[in-house]
Amino acid sequence: MILSVQDLTFKFRGKTIFSHASMQINQHAIYGLVAPNGYGKSTLLNLLTGLLHPQSGRIQLLDQSMSRQLIFEKVAYLQDNSVLYPYLTGQQHLDFLTAVHRLDRQAVATIAGQLQAVDFLNQRVSKYSLGMKQRLLLVMALVVKPTILLLDEPLNGLDPTSLQLVREALLDLAQQDVTVLISSHNLDELMKVTQHYFFITGHQIHEEVLSPHDSAEARYNALFAPTV
């Protein structure tokens, strides 16, 4: 078992986000996490990394109960770019991770090169475009060589060239026995890397495997289109 959520209930300010919800991942692969804004995608990722705590239920990672040490060693979480420090350079962010995780500097530089982030690493983050911030965040997530990679809207703000770079990086990870869970509204791009989805509906986490001929957008509309 790679990831297990059992009987999860979480409420925020009196609003129910999850009610006795469950999900299970048993194989290394890329998985999409899909729902409209406000349905709990980021909340679920925060629960999976211990940043939030459920009112009830059980979360396990790699056949173990969650702990800070386990998450530190095995999980990488790409959050939104508000976690970046605007007064630091991209390189300073990477230097911090290199020191904390005792990483090989050349390996870090190689990943930055693969995502074509090298040219802007010495600039302050305050000068970055949205796409540059997204690529820095992805480099930061990949350099720690996680077993489980959680990505919250990693495709946001990326131009076609950057999308291709990210797509190739994700597909490469899938060949390295890394489990990737991607929250995204870019359904066309998700379909290029996975047919396996978790949809959040009715406070539950609903798993579906689409065929290569299915449309993620059509399935999304069937689940979430407003009734007239």
> What are φ and ψ of residue 72, in 5° steps?
-60, -40
Q: What is the model's pLDDT at position 225?
A: 79
Residue 228, pLDDT > 50, answer no
Q: What is the model's pLDDT at position 226?
A: 66
The third-level CATH classification (topology) of the domain covering 3-224 is Rossmann fold (3.40.50)
Give 107's strand partners. Answer: none
Mean pLDDT to the nearest integer, 2-6: 97
Max distance between CA atoms of the chain, in angstroms, equals 57
Mean pLDDT to the nearest integer, 197-212: 94
Q: What is the model's pLDDT at position 146?
A: 92
What Cα–Cα distance (Å) separates residue 129 from each residue in 2, 64, 123, 132, 184? 35, 39, 11, 5, 19
> What are φ and ψ of residue 179, in 5° steps?
-90, 125
What residue spans define the domains of the chain? 3-224
What is the average pLDDT score of the chain?
Answer: 93
CA–CA dist 152, 220 (Å, integer): 18
pLDDT in tens, 145-200: 899 999 999 888 788 888 888 888 889 888 888 999 999 999 999 999 999 999 99
The C-alpha torsion from 67 through 73 and 74 to 79, rounded to 10°, is 80
pLDDT band at 44 (very low <50, low <70, confident <90, very high): very high
pLDDT in tens, 113-157: 989 999 999 999 999 998 899 999 999 999 998 999 999 998 887
Closest CA to 135 of 208, 78, 96: 78
